């Protein structure tokens, strides 16, 4: 009976062409920084829309069960209800924005998005 040989060539090519998935938070952050839509957050238009969202929501976290009122806008996030993922229409849609306090945005909201993204 003949021994089977390893298929080296095609498998090596296939493996090297696969997209690398970030495995830790630092790699994910670096990958996100390279997205072209990230520059939208630095525009005057975004700053105005962000403040308008806070004013509309009375500087109050809209996460169910929270309701924290926060006068310090550095502790608030203008959050996209539906993740825009580069869709310009969703990014700028005022109706797609809500005010969240940083703790709700950075924990509960991120867990929910990760659950729906899978």
Annotated domain spans of the chain? 43-118
Give pLDDT tens digits for 71-91.
999 999 999 999 998 899 999
pLDDT tens-digit readout, 8-62: 555 544 444 455 556 776 776 666 667 778 899 999 999 999 999 999 999 999 9
Evaluate if pTM is beyond 0.85: no
End-to-end CA distance of the chain: 46
DSSP 17-75: HSPPPP-SHHHHHHHHHT-GGGGGGGSHHHHHHHHHHHHHTTTB--STTT--B-S-GGG
């Amino acid at each position: 009976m003949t021994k089977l040989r390893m298929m080296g060539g095609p498998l090596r090519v296939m493996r090297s062409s696969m997209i690398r998935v970030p495995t830790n938070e630092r790699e994910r952050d670096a990958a996100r920084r390279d997205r072209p839509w990230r520059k939208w957050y630095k525009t005057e238009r975004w700053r105005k829309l962000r403040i308008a969202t806070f004013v509309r929501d009375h500087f109050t976290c809209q996460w169910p069960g929270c309701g924290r009122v926060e006068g310090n806008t550095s502790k608030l996030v203008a959050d996209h209800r539906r993740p825009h993922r580069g869709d310009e229409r969703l990014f700028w849609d005022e109706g797609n924005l809500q005010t969240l306090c940083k703790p709700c945005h950075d924990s509960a909201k991120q867990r929910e998005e990760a659950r729906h993204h899978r």
